């Protein structure tokens, strides 16, 4: 049984489309590939998929640079493929969330091309954020000191002397959300995809849409702080109130989840007012080190942040923007097997928490971050803009290994090289290899997800902390008790009958780097 509405306790699986499955044999994943592998998601036991951008795009930032918000990039398929995918997702009993990228377009979007061709001060330029440089002989300094999140300044100058703002890559000009045509266009785009049957949206850079009208300098402050001029300006909430009305106009519990980075719970809660977004990402777990006290602290804080709003919390360990958690948990020491052991234990924590969990493709296979990609293969603008100083995010975006013993491991047809090279050692990590191995990460994910499904109808939406040794964390939700031991030494388990453990128990002792679910009565 699920609680209502569906997303309050859903497990959502992030599909990074370009790296999931290659249906047309061009070395990049696509919508046909996703369709062909829906059985994997059903067998895994998730409730929904979130598709990263598949829109026409020059891929300057992996598709987060959209040139047409109502289409499908030919590399990824056609609108007919999309419609067929929606139908198949629903036929598999799953829901579909798609990414929407409202903060910026691609520099190839017709609006930006028009803006570049139009004179300063024209309505076409007003859809973006064009400014003169700082006062001075020729205004050759950018209008302010804002940095791009990918490195370097957030401004690029056109030959006519005006500068445009891009909080990310140069190829991602920021839209001006004070312009009513931008607002109505996006409401229309939402309707376009809602009419095609999507169940929800993941809103990219959701806190950044409206900038402070003063465009004041950061003057040394971190650009992400909400007290600064860029993120979480009060006017951004008007946008989501209007989006909520659009969503509410459709039946079937359509939802929106915002990618919102804030520096405080009050700010986060504002997005969750009843007439705004249904959910926001809470990145606390992903940011926490392997430590019971750190986990306890972030869980407490995350629950407290959403408590006044009535919204359900959300949890995430990995995404297409972060180092895979198996590898994070191996650092700084690299002891063989420790990352995998901890990743299994972290899954039991994640799935025992109230609210919804967002999984990232490949974590069910225990994939590590690929740290040795050849320089020539790397594509992330972070890598490019830092001139190789920062590795960027390609290492978590390597295509999924499905079957076989050599590249492309069933990702696409034999002999077709995937867009990022796949490590030779992945033969043992394929879905095929793991499906038949009861001790594999995949088998463990399936078992844990199936058990959560059986239990979920009986789990209260809150949790009770139990006393635990310093290196451990214990809590109870009705019939389910979670015990997680982040230390090196075994700890005595709290009461209950073991249902699922990540490592063999010694009597009632839980080993280090392990977790257990226990069935509790009464």
DSSP 441-502: HHHHHHHHHHHHHHHGGG--SS-EEE---TTEEEEEETTEEEEEE-SSS-EEPPSSEEEEES
Q: Rounded CA gap, 460 and 47, in Å?
A: 19
Q: Is 204 in the site for ligand GLC (CB under 6 A)?
A: yes
Shortest Å, Cβ 397 to ligand GLC: 9
* Binding-residue total with ligand GLC (CB under 6 A): 9
Shortest Å, Cβ 215 to ligand GLC: 20
The residue (of 82 and 358) whose beta carbon lies closer to ligand GLC is 358
Q: Rounded CA gap, 55 and 71, in Å?
A: 5
Distance of CA 126 to the CA centre of its chain: 31
The residue (of 168 and 411) whose beta carbon lies closer to ligand GLC is 168
Q: Rounded CA gap, 517 and 452, in Å?
A: 10
H/E run at residue 124: helix 123-126
The residue (of 268 and 491) whose beta carbon lies closer to ligand GLC is 268
The residue (of 257 and 442) whose beta carbon lies closer to ligand GLC is 257
- CB nearest ligand GLC: which residue? 64
Q: Is 14 in the site for ligand GLC (CB under 6 A)?
A: no
The residue (of 383 and 445) whose beta carbon lies closer to ligand GLC is 383
DSSP 312-347: PPEEES--TTS--HHHHTT-SS--TTHHHHHHHHHH
Binding mask 277-296 for ligand GLC (x = CB under 6 A): --------------------
Shortest Å, Cβ 68 to ligand GLC: 16
Q: Is 83 in the site for ligand GLC (CB under 6 A)?
A: no
386, burial (CB in 10 Å: exposed 0-12, middle 13-18, buried 19+): middle
Q: Which residues are catalytic?
A: 204, 259
Phi-psi sector, 517: left (phi>0), alpha (psi -120 to 50), beta: beta
Nearest 5°: CA angle at 206, between 203 and 209?
Answer: 125
Asked whether 61 and 383 are in contact (CB, 8 A), the reply is no
Closest C-alpha among 47, 33, 463 to residue 255: 47
Which position among 22, 28, 47, 61 is part of the footprint of ligand GLC (CB under 6 A)? Answer: 61
Which position among 168, 201, 240, 383 is part of the footprint of ligand GLC (CB under 6 A)? Answer: 168
Q: Is 88 in the site for ligand GLC (CB under 6 A)?
A: no
Shortest Å, Cβ 319 to ligand GLC: 7
Which position among 96, 190, 198, 205 is part of the footprint of ligand GLC (CB under 6 A)? Answer: 205
Q: Which residues contact 401 (CB under 8 A, 6 or more apart)?
A: 365, 367, 409, 410, 411, 422, 426, 427, 429, 430, 431
The residue (of 24 and 105) whose beta carbon lies closer to ligand GLC is 105
The residue (of 106 and 327) whose beta carbon lies closer to ligand GLC is 106
Q: Rounded CA gap, 332 and 348, in Å?
A: 23
Q: Is 321 in the site for ligand GLC (CB under 6 A)?
A: yes
Shortest Å, Cβ 150 to ligand GLC: 8
Binding mask 252-271 for ligand GLC (x = CB under 6 A): -------x------------
Q: Which residues contact 473 (CB under 8 A, 6 or more apart)?
A: 292, 295, 296, 349, 482, 483, 484, 486
Shortest Å, Cβ 167 to ligand GLC: 8
Shortest Å, Cβ 130 to ligand GLC: 20
Q: Rounded CA gap, 117 and 159, in Å?
A: 11
Q: Is 445 in the site for ligand GLC (CB under 6 A)?
A: no
Which position among 64, 76, 315, 329 is part of the footprint of ligand GLC (CB under 6 A)? Answer: 64
Pairing mode of beta strands 480-485, 514-519: antiparallel
Shortest Å, Cβ 318 to ligand GLC: 12
The residue (of 244 and 320) whose beta carbon lies closer to ligand GLC is 320
Nearest 5°: CA angle at 40, between 204 and 353?
Answer: 60
Binding mask 362-401 for ligand GLC (x = CB under 6 A): ----------------------------------------
Q: List binders of ligand GLC among 99-158 (CB under 6 A).
A: 101
The residue (of 205 and 349) whose beta carbon lies closer to ligand GLC is 205
Asked whether 429 and 401 are in contact (CB, 8 A), the reply is yes
Shortest Å, Cβ 19 to ligand GLC: 13
Interacting residues toward ligand GLC by CB under 6 A: 61, 64, 101, 168, 204-205, 259, 320-321
């Amino acid at each position: 049984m699920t609680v209502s509405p569906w997303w309050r306790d859903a497990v959502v699986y992030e599909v990074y489309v370009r790296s999931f499955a290659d249906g047309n044999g061009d070395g990049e994943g696509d919508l046909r590939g996703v369709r062909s592998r829906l059985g994997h998601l059903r067998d895994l036991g998730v409730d929904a998929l979130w598709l990263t951008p598949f829109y026409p795009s020059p891929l300057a930032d992996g598709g987060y640079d959209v040139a047409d918000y109502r289409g499908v990039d030919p590399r990824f398929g056609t609108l007919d493929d999309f419609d067929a995918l929606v139908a198949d997702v629903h036929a598999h009993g799953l829901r579909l969330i798609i990414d929407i990228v409202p903060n910026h377009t691609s520099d190839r979007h017709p609006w930006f091309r028009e803006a570049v061709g139009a004179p300063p001060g024209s309505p076409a330029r007003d859809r973006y954020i064009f400014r003169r440089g700082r006062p001075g002989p020729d205004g050759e300094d950018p209008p302010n000191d804002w940095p791009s999140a990918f490195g370097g300044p957030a401004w690029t100058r056109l030959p006519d002397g005006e500068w445009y703002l891009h909080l990310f890559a140069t190829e991602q000009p920021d839209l001006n959300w004070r312009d009513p045509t931008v607002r109505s266009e996006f409401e229309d785009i939402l309707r376009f995809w809602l009419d095609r049957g999507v169940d929800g949206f993941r809103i990219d850079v959701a806190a950044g849409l409206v900038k402070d009208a003063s465009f004041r300098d950061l003057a040394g402050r971190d650009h992400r702080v909400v007290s600064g001029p860029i993120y979480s300006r009060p006017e951004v909430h008007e946008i989501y109130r209007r989006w909520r009305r659009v969503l509410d106009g459709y039946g079937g519990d359509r939802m929106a989840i915002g990618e919102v980075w804030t520096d405080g719970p009050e700010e986060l809660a504002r997005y969750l007012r009843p007439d705004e977004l249904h959910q926001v990402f809470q990145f606390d777990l992903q940011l926490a080190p392997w430590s019971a006290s750190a986990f306890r602290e972030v869980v407490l804080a995350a629950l407290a942040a959403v408590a006044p709003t009535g919204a359900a919390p959300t949890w995430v360990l990995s995404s297409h923007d972060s180092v895979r958690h198996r590898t994070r948990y191996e650092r700084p020491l690299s002891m063989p097997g420790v990352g995998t052991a901890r990743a299994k234990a972290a899954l039991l924590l994640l799935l025992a928490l109230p609210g919804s969990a967002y999984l990232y493709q490949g974590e069910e296979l225990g994939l590590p971050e690929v740290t040795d990609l050849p320089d020539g293969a790397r594509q992330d603008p972070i890598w490019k803009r830092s001139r190789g100083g920062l590795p960027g995010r390609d290492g978590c975006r390597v295509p999924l290994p499905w079957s076989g013993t050599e590249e492309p491991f069933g990702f696409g047809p034999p002999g077709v090289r995937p867009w990022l090279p796949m490590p030779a050692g992945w033969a043992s990590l394929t879905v095929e290899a793991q499906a038949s191995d009861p001790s594999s990460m995949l088998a463990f994910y399936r078992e844990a997800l199936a058990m959560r499904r059986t239990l979920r109808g009986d789990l209260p939406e809150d949790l009770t902390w139990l006393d635990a040794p310093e290196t451990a964390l214990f809590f109870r939700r009705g019939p389910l008790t979670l015990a997680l031991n982040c230390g090196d030494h075994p700890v005595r388990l709290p009461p209950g009958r073991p249902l699922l453990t990540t490592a063999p128990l010694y009597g009632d002792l839980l080993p280090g780097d392990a977790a257990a679910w226990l069935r509790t009565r009464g």
